[in-house]
Amino acid sequence: MISKTSINNIYEAARVEEVISDFINLKKAGSNFKGLSPFSQEKTPSFMVSPAKQIWKDFSSGKGGNAVAFLMEHEGFSYPEALRYLGKKYNIEIEEFTNTPEEQIKFDLRESIYIVLNFSYEFYNNNLTKTDKGKSVGISYLNSRGFNEESIKKFGLGISFNDRKGFTDQALKKGFKTTNLEKSGLIIKKDDECFDRFKNRIMFPIKSISGRVLGYGARIISNSSNVAKYINSPETEVYQKSKILYGLFESKSFIIKEDNCYLVEGYTDVIQLHQKGIKNVVSSSGTALSSDQIMLVKRLTENITIIFDRDQAGITAAIKGVDLILDHGMNVRVCQLQEGEDPDSLARNNSSDFIKSYIKSNSLDFINFKASLLAIEYENEPIRKAEVINNIVKSISLVKNIIKRELYVQTCSKIMKISEDSIFKTLFQIEKSKENNFRNQNSKSFEIVKNKRFEPDSIDELYELEKKIISILILYGQKTETFNESILFFSEEHDELIEKNKQLKSKVYEKIFLDLQQDEIELANKEFKDLFHILMTEYQVSGKISIEKIIPTLSKELSEIVSSIILQEEKHLLHKWDKKSIYVKLPSENVSVMVTETILSLRKLLVSKKIESLQENIKSKDNKSILEDVMGYYQLRKIVSSKLNRVL
């Protein structure tokens, strides 16, 4: 358990924009920041951060909250882990009641795996840096490969000794369960015996973007030809190869700063380039580049430069990677190294200035790279050359920007010595083919529903109205507005009730509170009911609310509701409608009408529900008094509807 004092210190120090910018490339948008959602694959930013209110909202997924909520959603942290992460980031000493080993093991599977992996990280690193054997074998080997002490520490390298059960025995001695050790991918269980997965290898910890160890890449130390040079952790609850990039944790801030990401193949490539001051670099760790990996980069920059070996495997991987990156709407360049060289050797054998100059001068935009590479190979084979041109045009078809697409057509035309008109016709055919495929894939579903009457999803009107009341309280509760009040009095002259309108000035929160009290209305939704009491208490004590002070006291669910409400009104800023001569009218321009309309709508709905309930009773009972009540409620609904129509 973390002490209340530590929690308060963390919330006071943490800045939501600083925390989130460690994971997403945020750009200024008025008084807020915007960026691409980390929770969905989108091309237009719908993620908003408010520094003033210390909250964030992702409009594509509906998620939102404060800095702690972001870490819990994005990194899968538990609440205490998110607080510990922030404490470490802001150098805040955390007072904590120590859990027993037994209590730690009771954590759910995912958290248990993280605990095991963290222990393994310390175990392998201690083997390398704090034992005589590790220093003589591991450090000597790494030094011979050009790794310095700073890099070993920065990337947390370690060593597994040539011991069948070295890690297993130590972990079991510390109280870790065999099940959790096996599910972490660190040990193998066979015939009721457990033994280490990694032996006699340099251990490269693979981390999440926040720095949590997820698994390992492990390189054999010996020159044995009958074992794999590299082996990786197996897929686990926390480690999926296609969703991770090696070095992203160490490189993320440099990628944002340089607005470009170098993509290489191996672990050593990343570390060697870092040593030469080229730190905006990540590795796909020997796996085929995936959409999830590209999206990790896209949240930091729109630009990727692939640096690859000149062998056939490297060329094939680069060609496939280019199309996938283009399909995600990103800019891609390709740097092809000299024969027999890789980024590791390039970095070890050359100065920092030379490497930077080499990458800059040898990086081609994708069309020049692909066209020149394939054209040379099939220059004198017309049929194969036609296949190459079609391949290139397919890549061009992935470019969404019209101007860029036309420039690529011109480049392709010059290199391949074919008319632009032919390329444009081929592009048209590709687009038409895509359209036809889409129609064919969906034709059956269209046939099923085309004659079916369209029925929109039902809307929970009570939920929406209660949410509207909470929204008004949060956004405009302390404002003073003029309300048109209906006052009924008996006229002896006309012998009837007469309604007169009177204008009254009132605080918005007072108007809502009194109207709901008058009708004895209590919100039905538990979250809204809790928020209503929190907000009203704050207004009645202070006359205003401070969102940044309230947010830390709320549960994750309430925090998400509040952030959603606050940033919803500012959502139009993401699209810059005013610059397109589209002027959006904000609710803040007519708060009094909005309050009156919402309260009346809620009254009408509750009266209608009461009528339905009474009518059900009439069916089962012959009760004249119930019928009279129904008629009375019908009259009340008529009056409320009349008032509502006047407001609208």
> What's the pLDDT tens digit per position in 330-343?
899 999 888 888 89
Distance, CA of 204 to CA of 513 (rounded, Å): 60
CATH of domain 4-89: 3.90.580.10
Return the beta strands (E) in 577-617 as ranges.
none
CA atoms of 52 and 547, how far apart (whole Å)? 9
248-431 has which CATH code?
Answer: 3.40.1360.10
Q: What is the pLDDT of residues 576-611, one digit of tens each?
A: 544 544 444 455 568 888 888 888 888 888 888 888
| Fold equal for 4-89 and 248-431 | no
- Answer whether 33's CB lies under 8 Å from 573's CB: no
Query: Which DSSP letter does residue 309 get?
Result: -
Which residue has 């990540």 as its token pair? 282
Q: What percent of the chain has pLDDT over 70?
A: 83
Note whether 22 and 250 are within 8 A (CB).
Answer: no
CATH architecture of the domain covering 101-239: Alpha-Beta Complex (3.90)
In the chain, what is the straight-line distance between the N-terminal and C-terminal CA atoms, in Å?
Answer: 53
Using pLDDT thresholds of 50, 70 and 90, give the confidence band for residue 432. confident
Q: What distance in Å separates the CA atoms of residue 28 and residue 5, rounded to the nearest whole number?
A: 33
One-letter identity of residue 518: Q
Are 208 and 175 contacting, i.e. CB atoms less than 8 angstroms apart?
Answer: no
Burial class of residue 393 in the structure, from the number of CB atoms within 10 Å of its CB (0-12 exposed, 13-18 middle, 19+ buried) = buried
Measure the CA–CA gap between 291 and 293, rounded to whole angstroms.
5
**What are the extents of the domains in the chain?**
4-89, 101-239, 248-431, 465-569+586-647
Specify the range with the lowest mean pLDDT, choosing from 183-187, 369-373, 435-439, 475-479.
435-439
pLDDT recorded at residue 147: 95
- pLDDT tens digit string along 153-199? 999 999 999 999 999 999 999 999 999 999 999 999 988 899 999 99
Alpha helices in 159-247 (DSSP H): 166-173, 178-183
Q: How many CB atoms lie within 10 A of CB 30?
A: 10
Give the pLDDT band of residue 457 (cuts 50, 70, 90): very low
Instruction: Judge contact between 629 and 607, C-beta under 8 A.
Output: no
Reported for 255-259, long-range contacts at CB under 8 A and 24+ positions apart, including other chains, are 255/280, 255/282, 255/297, 255/300, 255/301, 256/21, 256/25, 256/300, 256/301, 258/301, 259/301, 259/302, 259/303
User: Using CA atoms, how far apart are residues 484 and 552, in angstroms rounded to an integer?
Assistant: 37
Residue environment code for 78-90, b if the CB has 16+ CB neighbours within 10 A, otherwise e? eeebbbbbbbebe
The least confident of 132-136, 377-381, 641-645 is 377-381
- For 195-221, what is the mean pLDDT? 93
DSSP string, 476-518: HTT-EEEEEEEEEEEETTTTEEEEEEEEEEEEHHHHHHHHHHH
